[in-house]
Amino acid sequence: MSEPKLYPIHNHLKGKTFFTAEKYQRFYNESIENPEAFWAKEACRLDWMQPFTKVKNTSYHKEDFHIRWYEDGTLNACYNCVDRHLKDKGDQVAIFWEGDNPEDSRTITYKELHQEISKFANVLRMHDVHKGDRVTIYLPMIPEAIIAILACARIGAIHSVVFAGFSAESLEGRIFDCDSHFLVTADEGVRGGKKIPLKKNVEEALQGKAAHILKKMIVVKRTGGDIPWQEKRDFWYHEEMDKVAIDCPLEEMGAEDPLFILYTSGSTGKPKGVLHTTGGYLVYAALTHQYVFDYHPGDIYWCTADIGWVTGHTYSIYGPLANGATIVLFEGVPQYPDASRFWKIVDKYKVTIFYTAPTVIRSLMREGTDFVQKTSRASLRILGSVGEPINPEAWEWYYDNVGNGRCPIMDTWWQTETGGILISALPGVTPLKPGSATFPLFGVKPALVNHKGQIIENNSEAEGNLVLLDSWPGQMRTVYGDQERFIKTYFTDFPGMYFSGDGARRDKEGNYWITGRVDDVINVSGHRLGTAEVESALDAHPKVVESAVVGFPHDIKGQGIYAFVTLHKKEPPSESLRKELIDLVRRKIGAIATPDRIQWASGLPKTRSGKIMRRILRKIAANELETLGDISTLADPLVVDDLVKNHKYTVSA
């Protein structure tokens, strides 16, 4: 591997951030040596109803498996995100809402947010929704989504948010899986100028096995379009909101009472209903939001993630609101009306902290830099990335063009299961290496283990399966209704440890580099190669926008390397380019990583949260076209048809 570039700490940040390198080390050591004391202190950032006397009570061992944090404390998440800010920040903007259409916007103060949430919580209660009930939320990126989520938290109902881009089939499965009797949706959503028939999808979802489960729903009128309607089961949001009182008492929740269920994105198989509880999750969300983004009062914070995935939960809602932040909530897509949209929004609201995903960066990169350069972005201070390893090429584009070389990028590694960020740089602390998530956060004890579960030398260069040796407060507590699957998935391959399913490499300085999912590792003639490494090498070519690499059965090598490559819009594929790419990979990694096949792809199969579904690509590469598996969580199932067609051509060429 060629040596990565190192980006030192920006001078203008020195002395201005929460942490220095020295202070980080001191905090980190303390958090590992004495987690009880560390997490007791950090929990004071929340307001508790009954203070906890126990902090950590966890064991990963089979005989006595349990994960409990702050177990005898009580609190309310909505109170912590909203009510407690009213005294000082009632008139501060909580949400800048930006509609799909640039002319549409709304500003909601903490006081207004509090009123809306209280009313909607009363609507839920009026409809017989109580503590512990599961409420499915199938809403677009409109303020009512946050209102509905926090209203559930207020009364102790468990929300299960289903991304509004998901199909009826995905929705059906999720309603069924968590036995949800109540749903909140909208007539239609609007994204990129197009309408999304949400209510119609709900109706379709209720044709099958979810039909007898769901009893009632509330519908937000977003567009006023024509929709199917069933009296006594369906109620308009605005009509119900007129019927209720403005005050809504808070439910006192145990720290270990469930807060929400969220299904993983399904990149590797059937989505898991990840269950998070109240106290530990919220402590962890608030802490990581504050420290990783160096959040200070006055910052305008924008996380572009949809509320339908975990980043939207932890870093668009719970973390920032627990910290009393002003957030931006955007209904639309980065390319509409044109590819400048994100940067125009940054300028409009003077966003200081901006958090997005590599897939977004690459898609905007594809459109060229003009769209960025015609905006100012002078307000930006900190950038973030999450969802996949970010290839150095995209990292540098983000850093140079979006951040004008002024803003450090926090590449944050975490999972739905982890509740919050586990590995990330910290502003003012960590010199950056493009493509590395760098170091563990407080209380996080990562290790790399071999296939037998033996820890590979503790403090030096290593590569292996990424595990966590101890619990942290934001950790998921179970797979909803399936504790067995929970233990089997995360605690069985390597007993006594949490297994992330990801592979990673640690360099001399201790920086972590996620190499991709362990199931995706390719074994070429006995050499193990992470998909991320080969993809990064391909992506480094100026004509390449992104790529996905998978293994396929190879007579001699065991597995061969099959690369799907997407080129910049104006670049035609050619034989000479194919050769250039192969040379590039050989140069950057070595001959062992030489792709056996390169297939040009106009698009890659991605989940709705923008992750590449390599399991589908593996099937295509192996020519197993009849058994592609579950593609219901794909953003655009049509790309698969295209890939299948081109596969035939690639193989015969």
Instruction: Please tell me whether 132 is known to bind a ligand.
Output: no
State how far Cα 75 lies from the chain centre.
Answer: 25
Of the pair 504, 563, the CB lying nearest ligand ATP is at 504
CB 188 within 8 A of CB 196: yes
* Candidate residues 74, 136, 160, 264; the one interacting with ligand ATP per rule CB under 6 A: 264
Residues 356-395 that bind ligand ATP (CB under 6 A): 386-389
CA distance 87 to 109: 13
CA distance 316 to 95: 10
Of the pair 190, 476, the CB lying nearest ligand ATP is at 476
Q: To the nearest whole angstrom, how small is the minimum distance from the Cβ of residue 53 to ligand ATP?
A: 33
* Candidate residues 268, 375, 404, 646; the one interacting with ligand ATP per rule CB under 6 A: 268
Instruction: Please tell me whether 453 is known to bind a ligand.
Output: no
Of the pair 254, 434, the CB lying nearest ligand ATP is at 434
Of the pair 115, 415, the CB lying nearest ligand ATP is at 415
Q: To the nearest whole angstrom, how small is the minimum distance from the Cβ of residue 424 to ligand ATP?
A: 8
CB 149 within 8 A of CB 317: yes
* Candidate residues 282, 345, 441, 514; the one interacting with ligand ATP per rule CB under 6 A: 514
Q: To the nearest whole angstrom, how small is the minimum distance from the Cβ of residue 357 to ligand ATP?
A: 8
* Candidate residues 265, 290, 430, 438; the one interacting with ligand ATP per rule CB under 6 A: 265
Residues 431-470 that bind ligand ATP (CB under 6 A): 437
- Residue 328's identity, in one-letter code, is V
Size of site (CB under 6 A) for ligand ATP: 26
Instruction: Please tell me whether 525 is known to bind a ligand.
Output: yes
Q: Does 536 participate in binding ligand ATP (rule CB under 6 A)?
A: no
CA distance 173 to 213: 11
Instruction: Please tell me whether 257 is known to bind a ligand.
Output: no
Of the pair 291, 413, the CB lying nearest ligand ATP is at 413
State how far Cα 344 lies from the chain centre.
Answer: 23
Give the CA distances from residue 297 to residues 58, 83, 281, 326, in Å, rounded to whole numbers and listed in that order: 34, 17, 22, 9
Region from 81-89, 131-139, 280-288, 408-416 binding ligand ATP, contact rule CB under 6 A: 408-416
CB 252 within 8 A of CB 238: no
Per residue, what are the HEC states of 285-333? HHHHHHHHCCCCCCCEEEECCCCCCHHHHHHHHHHHHHCCCEEEEECCC
In 374-461, the DSSP E strands lie at 382-385, 409-411, 446-449
Give the CA distances from residue 557 to residues 135, 344, 525, 561, 649, in Å, rounded to whole numbers and listed in that order: 51, 50, 4, 10, 23
Q: To the nearest whole angstrom, how small is the minimum distance from the Cβ of residue 245 to ligand ATP?
A: 38
CB 182 within 8 A of CB 173: no
Give the CA distances from residue 313 to residues 261, 305, 471, in Å, rounded to whole numbers and listed in that order: 11, 9, 20
* Candidate residues 68, 276, 377, 517; the one interacting with ligand ATP per rule CB under 6 A: 517
Of the pair 143, 273, the CB lying nearest ligand ATP is at 273
Of the pair 119, 517, the CB lying nearest ligand ATP is at 517
Q: Does 411 participate in binding ligand ATP (rule CB under 6 A)?
A: yes
* Candidate residues 611, 618, 619, 647; the one interacting with ligand ATP per rule CB under 6 A: 611
Region from 149-157, 177-185, 259-267, 286-294 binding ligand ATP, contact rule CB under 6 A: 259-267
* Candidate residues 326, 416, 430, 599; the one interacting with ligand ATP per rule CB under 6 A: 416
* Candidate residues 182, 291, 413, 480; the one interacting with ligand ATP per rule CB under 6 A: 413
Annotate 462-491 with b (16+ C-beta within 10 A) or e (fewer).
Answer: bbbbbbbbbbbbbbbbbbbeeeeebeebbb
Instruction: Please tell me whether 413 is known to bind a ligand.
Output: yes
CB 294 within 8 A of CB 428: yes
Residue 367 CB burial class (10 angstroms; 0-12, 13-18, ≥19): middle
Instruction: Please tell me whether 3 is known to bind a ligand.
Output: no
Residue with tokens 């060429």: 653
Instruction: Please tell me whether 414 is known to bind a ligand.
Output: yes
Instruction: Please tell me whether 341 is known to bind a ligand.
Output: no
Instruction: Please tell me whether 578 is known to bind a ligand.
Output: no
Q: Which of 261, 238, 513 lies closest to 389 in space, CA to CA?
A: 513
Of the pair 255, 423, the CB lying nearest ligand ATP is at 423
Q: To the nearest whole angstrom, how small is the minimum distance from the Cβ of residue 337 to ligand ATP?
A: 29
- Residue 536's identity, in one-letter code, is S
Q: Which of 106, 265, 267, 98 lies closest to 191 in space, CA to CA?
A: 98
Give the CA distances from residue 58 to residues 27, 184, 226, 283, in Å, rounded to whole numbers and listed in that order: 21, 35, 52, 17
* Candidate residues 401, 412, 430, 599; the one interacting with ligand ATP per rule CB under 6 A: 412
Provide the token pair at 430: 């960590």
In the sheet with 382-385, reading across from the earlier edge strand, the strands are: 105-109, 93-98, 326-330, 300-303, 353-356, 382-385, 409-411
Q: To the nearest whole angstrom, how small is the minimum distance from the Cβ of residue 389 to ligand ATP?
A: 4
Q: To the nearest whole angstrom, how small is the minimum distance from the Cβ of residue 520 to ligand ATP?
A: 9
- Residue 506's identity, in one-letter code, is R
String of contacts with ligand ATP for each residue 303-332, x by CB under 6 A? ------xx----------------------
Q: To the nearest whole angstrom, how small is the minimum distance from the Cβ of residue 252 to ligand ATP?
A: 30
Residue with tokens 């995905």: 170
* Candidate residues 58, 167, 375, 415; the one interacting with ligand ATP per rule CB under 6 A: 415
Annotated binding site for ATP: 387-389, 411-416, 502, 517, 528
Annotated binding site: 191-194, 311, 387-389, 411-416, 502, 517, 525, 528, 541, 544, 586
Residues of this chain that interact with ligand ATP (CB under 6 A) are 264-268, 271, 309-310, 386-389, 411-416, 437, 500-502, 514, 517, 609, 611
Annotated binding site for Mg(2+): 541, 544
Annotated binding site for CoA: 191-194, 311, 525, 586
